[in-house]
Amino acid sequence: MAMVCLSDFEAYAKKYLPKIAWDYFAAGADDCSTRDENILAYKRIRFRPRMLRDVSVVDIRTKILGFEISFPVGIAPTGFHQLAWPDGEKSTARAARAMDTCYIASTYSTCTLEEISAAAPGGLCWFQLYIHRNRTASQQLVRRAEALGFQGLVLTADLPYTGKRRDDVRNGFRLPPHMKVKNLEGAFEVCKMSLLDPSVTWNDIYWLRSLTRLPIIIKGILTREDAELAVQHGVQGIIVSNHGGRQLDEGPATIDALVEVVEAVRGRVEVYVDGGIRKGSDVLKALALGAKCVFIGRPALWGLAYKGEEGLQDVLRILQDEFRLSMALAG
Amino acid sequence: MAMVCLSDFEAYAKKYLPKIAWDYFAAGADDCSTRDENILAYKRIRFRPRMLRDVSVVDIRTKILGFEISFPVGIAPTGFHQLAWPDGEKSTARAARAMDTCYIASTYSTCTLEEISAAAPGGLCWFQLYIHRNRTASQQLVRRAEALGFQGLVLTADLPYTGKRRDDVRNGFRLPPHMKVKNLEGAFEVCKMSLLDPSVTWNDIYWLRSLTRLPIIIKGILTREDAELAVQHGVQGIIVSNHGGRQLDEGPATIDALVEVVEAVRGRVEVYVDGGIRKGSDVLKALALGAKCVFIGRPALWGLAYKGEEGLQDVLRILQDEFRLSMALAG
Amino acid sequence: MAMVCLSDFEAYAKKYLPKIAWDYFAAGADDCSTRDENILAYKRIRFRPRMLRDVSVVDIRTKILGFEISFPVGIAPTGFHQLAWPDGEKSTARAARAMDTCYIASTYSTCTLEEISAAAPGGLCWFQLYIHRNRTASQQLVRRAEALGFQGLVLTADLPYTGKRRDDVRNGFRLPPHMKVKNLEGAFEVCKMSLLDPSVTWNDIYWLRSLTRLPIIIKGILTREDAELAVQHGVQGIIVSNHGGRQLDEGPATIDALVEVVEAVRGRVEVYVDGGIRKGSDVLKALALGAKCVFIGRPALWGLAYKGEEGLQDVLRILQDEFRLSMALAG
Amino acid sequence: MAMVCLSDFEAYAKKYLPKIAWDYFAAGADDCSTRDENILAYKRIRFRPRMLRDVSVVDIRTKILGFEISFPVGIAPTGFHQLAWPDGEKSTARAARAMDTCYIASTYSTCTLEEISAAAPGGLCWFQLYIHRNRTASQQLVRRAEALGFQGLVLTADLPYTGKRRDDVRNGFRLPPHMKVKNLEGAFEVCKMSLLDPSVTWNDIYWLRSLTRLPIIIKGILTREDAELAVQHGVQGIIVSNHGGRQLDEGPATIDALVEVVEAVRGRVEVYVDGGIRKGSDVLKALALGAKCVFIGRPALWGLAYKGEEGLQDVLRILQDEFRLSMALAG
């Protein structure tokens, strides 16, 4: 079977992953409306292609927070990569470095920050964190990440509680016994989402700021009001995200929310977006609407499920080729 | 089979109820457009979720007409509960009391008001009535309800005649011989809808007012004009309802009608809504659009069909959990 | 099988009619978009139901051009009724008289005007005509109809040529040898549509006017411009029609066109509509939008196919009951 | 099987062509949204049919750039006709001449310009060209075409690179060994799209102008901005086209783009459109929106696949009959 577009990887993953893993990665909250809307919203956006421009050279390199990457597609934070491939996040980090782009490692990784960092030294890596009830644990994670050379901190803002993903409830989803949320092993006896602190507010950004010199990127913003608050509280970047449609169902598609966030931010910080990217032309649409870079979640997992590091590189390379072609054809 | 969301109860009921009972509960008028539109209209309403608010404590208790309930979901009046579960409305009343919410008992119950009242003493119960051609019969029902401690009267306004529900006509729907519309046994020899008085007008509210000190809630309002009339005629509450899409087909979805009713009422009386509630987030949408409380009809029957009192509690508990989570995730 | 709504008759006819006859009656032009749009457009129109009005007496009688009918649903002109029932148009005429409504007999009847007239003396019957290249033939038809007591002339304006109905072309549709277009037997050797005169213009209304004292109703108007022309040329009534979607595909649904025609006519002549009526509530919608009466085409044929005169009465009775109920429920 | 409408030819071609050929002709870029939207957009456009106009004579002849054709439907440039029929473009040229219309021969023909020209002497033929990296090759093609009597040059502007057609990638599409892109045999050793020059700009129109006295028609314009540029650079005609949805996916449907192009051009040059024409009424819509003529791509190939020259004539004749009928029925 030829792997021609991202849907081919999706079909492969659906066929070869254990059902419980596929369901976990695919899950959306409630009726999965927002998960699906993320994709549909891209299709509603139409190009106005221009002709007869010199497109013999198409430069797709860009910078995020000053770091140059080979094209404006990074890897969004998702958990439990060992469910997709034995080497887990180590493969992800290697693929990102090989493709010269940014990888946001999740707190809920099945490899430690140390392992991820060692797997791809010199790669551009950010660390995604939640704020835990146990603030000391969060503080330690931040310091570990900074010490290991991670170059950005991504604070997830949309998960005071976990969304209701019906299939996970039906499956009684939990990690297989041989996998661990290794980053949290020292800090907590049991890994439970309820360790997250639902009382976190904007003021906690100041606390986070006091812990580290790394740039702080906030992930999960969907409205102009919250975008304004994010800027006021001094973040360096915003990822417009609805957690892949896994949190509150029936909110906006991220590409639609991007428009109002970009408008509110007025260039004061960089804005990124994740959710629903399935083609190179989706990347172009996001950039045309003001994103500096996009991040892919599920497609990266499908790539891992296909052939680990190599499969993820395939996914990224396809997106890169499609993005370059879209730019040329759109003029 | 895990019962994770209300659709699971629907699937169960469809599978295990006798076809004639399922059809009766599921029936909508004519093409069932309005029945289905009730649900679809909720899906069209989108949240704008806000982040980083302290949602460690989420208070979902509320009051309707001064009575405190544990969360803003009550049980709408529907007929013939013995078709769903042997104990019929007695189970319904018990489940409502156990979950600390309001139950509106229908005139077309298969248990008497006395049985319902005795089944769950101390529970919050309203009585739903029609105005019959035989006004004495209606008067007696009102007095019985008041004497038994029912705390509200719900006048159904949208049934001068019964809507055309095709499946019921095809099935020749009638109650099995061992079930009776017990509340009307003394008053009428035969239970026929045609005993209802199609000449009822707004002035009959005054007549009803003269019979009782109970608050009067009018059910079946769909327009601003009728909402204004209801307020002028002195009702205490309005239930925006289209009878579950069982009366005039191709009228508005209730959640859409709610908006204009709330606007017309301007806070002078409480406004509730029923029809199409299938998730906790639907409850949140209705409240955000001005409803003080919602009522569920068919989902309550599915709960009864699943495990009687216990099944209905499951349904209510799921809605409660989903509602609380939606509030937290929406910020 | 219980015949509960018009779709039941449709299903029956589809099952029991010869395929060539079913296809002929069901056919729409080209992609059948307009045929289907006629129905869909009704579904998009929503009621605003009003409550607590005295609907104990609902009067559904009406008058068209001064003739009283039992309810505002007549029978549109359609051809070849013997394809549906052996007695053909004679059964149609009897059913219309029995239900006390108007029947528009088609030029393309398989019974003569004389037979139709004799089958239901005293019934309200209009005659539908085309203008033929052979004007004498048209003139003779008009005079025959007038002499036989037909009480209106319906001039079809939308058939200068026959629309392209793909299934009829595939089937090589033609009448079985034992059926004839009897009204034209004297006038033409062979019955071919091409005998119709495509050069007919508005001035020919004056010519028609000169032949008869009967009221002239023009059928096939879809725009305000043509409605104005029709009034100026002295017709007594307008039937908004797209020939059941059998002529130009992808024009407007008739219920949508009705609005602009009614607006243009400003009450100067009566306006009727056909196409897409499937429920009593459709009739109410058409009347609410300004039609004085509606006409049914295919549903009448389904009734004939079911049980001849009796089946057509069933269809009319169902529409009548549904219409009366809709009026009551809409307040 | 009767060939009644263009879909019949499509079904035939899908059934009888080799899969690799069918896929190549059917292919759209990426998700094929634009390919399908080309058709859907026509369905959204509605007629306002007028009645009682003298339509006994309907003249459908027209002129494009001064050349008279029998009706406003020409044959768009498409490649590799031998994939559909052994005689390839020779049959196409003959059918076009037989039906007295215009054929735009593609650079990627499987017959030489000389063969095409000789196959149908006296027919109206334009030549479609790309600008190659090797300008001399392009220049030679232009001179050959002019010398052979081609009467127009169609410059394709929307293919700096080939769009991503997934099925072609999966199939590893290439011409069978016995077919050649004969026009380029002298000029290039291997036929590869990458021979096209992606650095072409508007100024190259002047270069093209300097090579030939033939009228230049630019194909692939979708925006008012580019339409204005085309006029300013002195082209004689514009073909609104998205390459059958084979280049940038998710741009506008051509019939929608036509409106803005016609508006921008304000009659200064002729405007044509291709893409999505499936019925005679589509032609009428395009003309009503300002096109002087339409061109058909895939339907011509289906006609060839059916019966070569004769099949293509069938396709054109059906379109002609449908177009004439639509004109008459629309008044």
The verdict on whether residue A63 carries a ligand-binding annotation is no
Q: In chain C, which among 32-51 make CB contacts under 8 A with chain D?
A: 33
Give dist(CA B273, CA B170) in Å, integer: 30
Q: How far is C259 from chain D (nearest CA, A)?
A: 14
| C251 and D CB contact within 8 Å | yes
Enter the tokens of residue C38.
């006629």
C4 CA: distance to closest CA in chain B (Å): 6
C326 touches chain B (CB under 8 A): yes
Report the distance separating Cα A238 and Cα A320, nearest Å.
23
What pLDDT does residue D1 have? 74
* CB contacts, 8 Å: D5 with chain C: 30, 164, 166
Largest CA distance in chain A: 63
Q: Which pLDDT band, with edges at 50, 70 and 90, does B194 fall under?
A: low
Under 8 Å between Cβ of D238 and D274: no
Q: Do chains B and D touch (3 or more CB pairs under 8 A)?
A: no
Residue to substitute from B51, B279, B320, B326, interface A, most A β-carbons within 10 A: B51
Question: Distance (Å) from the C-alpha of residue D254 to the closest C-alpha of chain C?
Answer: 19
For residue B189, give the 3-state DSSP assignment. coil
Chains in touch with B (3+ beta-carbon pairs under 8 Å) read A, C
Q: Which of B53, B56, B330 sits opposite A248 (nearest CB)?
A: B330
Confidence of residue C191 (pLDDT cuts 50, 70, 90): very low
* Helix, strand, or coil (residue C96): helix
Subunit contact C52:B252, Cβ cutoff 8 A: no
Interface contact D197-A279, CB threshold 8 A? no
Query: Quick check: A169 contacting D, CB < 8 Å?
Result: no
Judging contacts by C-beta atoms under 8 Å, the chain A residues touching residue D202 are 52
Residue D160: other Cβ atoms inside 10 A: 25
What mean pLDDT, rounded, does chain D reach? 96
Contacts of B56 in chain A (CB under 8 A): 160, 197-199
CA neighbours within 13 Å on the CB side: how many for D65? 21
What's residue C190's pLDDT? 47
Say if strands C153-156 and C124-129 run parallel, antiparallel, or are unpaired.
parallel
Which pair of tokens denotes residue A232?
A: 């006021």
- The token pair at C111 is 């019974």
CB-based contacts of D87, cutoff 8 Å, min separation 6: D308, D309
Q: What is the pLDDT of residue B102?
A: 98
Helices (H) and strands (E) in chain B, counts: 12, 10
CB contact under 8 A, C226 and D322: no
Token pair listed for C84: 């549906």
Burial B240-249 (b: 16+ CB within 10 A, else e): bbbbbbbbbb
Residue A297, annotated as binding a ligand? yes
Cβ-based contacts of C160 with chain D (< 8 Å): 55-56, 328-329
d(CA D177, CA D179) in angstroms, rounded, equals 6
Give the pLDDT of residue B186: 64
Q: How far apart are CA D44 and CA D47, in angstroms?
A: 10
D175, D181 Cβ separation under 8 angstroms: yes
pLDDT above 60 (res D193) = no
Asked whether A143 and A212 are in contact (CB, 8 A), the reply is yes
**C79 annotated among ligand-binding-site residues:** yes
Our CA angle for A281, A287, A292, nearest 5°, is 135
Which residues are CB-contacts of A308 (< 8 A; sequence separation ≥ 6)?
Answer: A85, A86, A87, A91, A95
Task: Show residues of chain B in contact with C53, CB under 8 Å.
Answer: 201
For chain B, how long is the longest CA-to-CA vector?
A: 63
Q: Quick one: how far is CA B291 from the chain centroid?
A: 14
Q: C70-102: string of b/e by CB count within 10 Å (b at 16+)?
A: ebbbbbbbbbbbbbbbebbbbbbbbbbbbbebb
**C250 close to D (CB below 8 A):** yes
Q: Do A4 and D169 touch (CB under 8 A)?
A: yes
Q: How far apart are CA D319 and CA D1, in angstroms?
A: 18
Any chain D CB within 8 A of the CB of A330? yes
Q: CA B92, B95, B101, B103: dihedral to nearest 10 degrees?
A: 10
Chains D and C touch (3+ CB pairs under 8 A): yes
Structure-token match 């208070």, residue found: B59
Q: How much of chain C is in helix, strand and coil states, percent to nearest 5?
A: 45, 15, 40
**What residues does D73 pair with on adjacent strands?**
D294
Distance from C-alpha of A129 to C-alpha of B311, rounded to nearest angstrom: 40
pTM exceeds 0.80 for this model: yes
C188 band by pLDDT with thresholds 50, 70 and 90 = low
β-partners of residue A156 are A219
pLDDT at D185: 79
Provide the pairing of β-strand A216-221 with A237-240. Answer: parallel
Q: How far apart are CA C32 and CA C248, in angstroms?
A: 10
| Interatomic CA distance for residues A221 and A254, integer angstroms | 9
Query: What is the nearest CA distance from A222 to chain B, expressed in angstroms?
Result: 7
A197, A199, A247 ranked by CB distance to B329: nearest: A247
Encoded tokens for D23? 């896929």
CB D104 within 8 A of CB D154: yes
Tell me how far apart the alpha carbons of residues A311 and A3 are, in angstroms, rounded to a whole number: 10
Q: Distance (Å, rounded) from C-alpha D278 to C-alpha D104?
A: 19
Closest Cα of chain D to C265: distance in Å? 16
Residue D190 pLDDT greater than 50, yes or no: no
Identify the weakest region by mean pLDDT among A146-160, B172-186, C10-24, C263-277: B172-186
**B106 labeled binding residue:** yes
Q: What is the pLDDT of residues D110-126, one digit of tens each?
A: 999 999 999 999 999 99
Taking the CA of residue B156 as centre, how many other CA atoms within 13 Å lie in the half-sphere pointing to its CB?
Answer: 32
Strands (E), chain C: 62-64, 67-69, 73-75, 102-105, 124-129, 153-156, 216-221, 237-240, 270-274, 293-296
Tell me the C-alpha distance between D221 and D237, whole Å.
Answer: 11
Q: For B82-138, write each residue's pLDDT tens digit.
A: 999 999 999 999 999 999 999 999 999 999 999 999 999 999 999 999 999 999 999
Q: Compute the nearest-CA separation of C285 from chain B (Å).
A: 10
* A31 CB within 8 Å of a chain B CB: yes
pLDDT reported for residue A186: 64
Q: How many angstroms away from the CA of A252 is the closest CA of chain B?
A: 7
**E strand residue ranges, chain A:** 62-64, 67-69, 73-75, 102-105, 124-129, 153-156, 216-221, 237-240, 270-274, 293-296
Question: What are the φ and ψ backbone dihedral angles of D249, each rounded to 5 degrees?
Answer: -75, 155
* Mean pLDDT across C122-148: 95
Q: How many CA atoms lie within 13 A of D283 on its CB side?
A: 24
Residues whose CB is less than 8 angstroms from the CB of residue A156 and which lie 6 or more positions away in sequence, other chains included: A77, A128, A129, A130, A219, A220, A243
CB contact under 8 Å between D49 and C248, yes or no, is: yes
- The yes-or-no verdict on residue B190 having pLDDT over 80 is no
**B220-251: per-residue pLDDT in tens?**
999 999 999 999 999 999 999 999 999 999 99
3-state secondary structure of C193: helix
Closest-CA residue in chain C for B168? C4
Copy the structure tokens of residue B182.
Answer: 């017990």
Contacts of A54 in chain D (CB under 8 A): 198-201
On chain C, the residues whose CB falls within 8 A of the CB of D51 are 157-158, 220-222, 226
Q: Does C229 touch chain D (CB under 8 A)?
A: yes
The residues of D carrying an active-site annotation are 243
- In eight-state DSSP terms, residue B196 is B
**Is A243 part of the annotated catalytic residue set?**
yes
Chunked mean pLDDT (size 10), chain A, 331 residues = 95 98 98 98 97 95 98 98 98 98 97 97 97 92 97 97 96 94 71 76 97 98 98 98 98 98 98 98 98 98 98 98 97 89
Cα radius of gyration (chain C): 19
DSSP state for residue D202 in the 8-state scheme: T
Structure tokens at A167: 């299939």
Which SS3 state, helix, strand or coil, does residue D234 take?
coil
Give Cβ neighbours of residue B229 (< 8 Å, ≥ 6 apart): B202, C52
Q: How far apart are CA B269 and CA C141, in angstroms?
A: 67
- Specify the pLDDT at position A187: 59
Q: What whole-number distance in Å separates Cα of residue C234 and Cα of residue C228?
A: 10
Ordered alpha helix ranges (H), chain B: 6-16, 19-26, 33-44, 89-98, 113-119, 135-147, 166-171, 203-211, 224-232, 254-265, 280-288, 298-330
D6 sits in which H/E element: helix D6-16
H or E element, residue A265: helix A254-265
Using DSSP's 3-state secondary structure scheme, residue B70 falls into coil
pLDDT, tens only, C225-269: 999 999 999 999 999 999 999 999 999 999 999 999 999 999 999
Report all structural domains of chain C as residue ranges with CATH numbers, in order of start.
6-47+57-330 (3.20.20.70)
State whether residue A317 is helix, strand or coil.
helix
8 Å CB contact of D4 and C247: no
- CB of C322 within 8 Å of a chain B CB? The answer is yes
- Check CB contact of A169 with chain B, cutoff 8 Å: yes
Task: Tell me phi and psi for residue B68, to 5 degrees.
Answer: -80, 135
What residue type is assigned to position C204 of the chain? D
Residues of chain C contacting residue B160, judged by C-beta atoms under 8 Å apart: 55-56, 328-329
Q: What per-residue confidence (pLDDT) applies to D298?
A: 98
Contact predicate C283/C72, CB 8 Å: yes
Residue C278 annotated as binding site = yes
**Number of residue pairs across C and D with CB atoms under 8 Å?**
83
User: Minimal Cα distance from A168: which residue of B?
Assistant: B4
Q: Which two tokens stand for residue B292?
A: 């003080």
